Chains A and B, each alone.
Chain A
Amino acid sequence: DTAVSQTPKYLVTQMGNDKSIKCEQNLGHDTMYWYKQDSKKFLKIMFSYNNKELIINETVPNRFSPKSPDKAHLNLHINSLELGDSAVYFCASGSRYGYTFGSGTRLTVV
């Protein structure tokens, strides 16, 4: 069973579109995260939710909106996609003392 699963794995879309990435974890963790990995492999935190409550919100454009319907799910919705949004987005769950990452969603904006 996959511990942290993200869908879709690949997403190619045009500029200006709105898209969502879904994440689910079956580890029973209270906290989930979204990270962005750019073309140079740099991993930067975007958001963190603890039991459906937003606890970390980095300097991310308002076009990015996370939603957590329950503590096992954390989705990421992106409005008005731009070329610079192209990256791999990783969902993770756990605590500061150990994250489990999903396998990533490669977003390409054309």
Chain B
Amino acid sequence: GENVEQHPSTLSVQEGDSAVIKCTYSDSASNYFPWYKQELGKGPQLIIDIRSNVGEKKDQRIAVTLNKTAKHFSLHITETQPEDSAVYFCAYVKGGSEKLVFGKGTKLTVNP
């Protein structure tokens, strides 16, 4: 299949709390899993990615974990700030192709 299931569809947290978004994919040939952030009125922007030979990657307050056996990967944002409010998309590269398949997005709201 070509789907990537993303949950939750909306997430509201208090400033300073952590936020976690999870995605599950079905293509076992996939080896690259990026996350994009889309702010209102803008195009999606790559914020972090992970390849299949790594289980976790961190960049300041953002981390991504990958479980290839279970075919799921997650985005973790710690110490959330109001400017983290956006729609976040997980994605994966379909095996054997150049095609990036996106999840349906999670609207994150960080309340001050």
Contact = CB atoms under 8 A, between A and B. Distances in A.
B99 A99 contact: no
Interface stretch (A12-20, A36-44, A66-74, A78-86): A36-44
Contacts, number: 56
B93 A96 contact: yes
A38 B100 CA distance: 17
A108 interface: no
B25 interface: no
A90 interface: yes
**In the complex, the 5 A-B pairs of residues with the closest C-beta atoms, listed nearest first:** A101-B43, A43-B102, A96-B93, A41-B105, A101-B44
Contact of A56 (B41, B89, B99, B107): B99
Interface residues of A, number: 24
A92 B101 CA distance: 14
B7 interface: no
B32 A96 contact: yes
A102 B42 CA distance: 8
Contacts of A96: 32, 93, 98-100
B86 to A, nearest CB: 11
Query: Mostly helix, strand, loop or mixed at chain A's interface?
Result: strand
A2 to B, nearest CB: 11
A41 B87 contact: yes
Interface string B41-82: 111111001000000000000000000000000000000000
A22 B7 CA distance: 34
Given A41-B87, A96-B98, A98-B49, A90 B43 contact: yes
A100 B45 CA distance: 7
